């Protein structure tokens, strides 16, 4: 179902969704990095 709806959407909408996905992934990576540094600080102290 998702693929057919994506095909129906405009190219602009698809590019916008991809940009949102990329920004969300980058945010998740930043959060993971921050959490890992905090955990690492607690472990190494």
Q: Report pLDDT for 37.
A: 93
Tell me, what's the pLDDT at 9?
62
In order of 3, 4, 6, 30, 41, the CA distances from 34 in angstroms are 34, 38, 34, 6, 11
Q: Does residue 6 contact residue 14 with C-beta atoms inside 8 Å?
A: yes
Positions in the chain short of pLDDT 70: 1-10
What's the pLDDT score for residue 19? Answer: 82
Predicted local distance difference test score (pLDDT) of residue 2 = 59
């Amino acid at each position: 179902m998702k693929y057919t709806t994506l095909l129906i959407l405009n190219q602009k909408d698809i590019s916008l969704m991809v940009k949102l996905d990329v920004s969300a992934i980058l945010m998740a990576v930043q959060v993971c990095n921050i959490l890992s540094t905090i955990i690492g600080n607690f472990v190494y102290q």
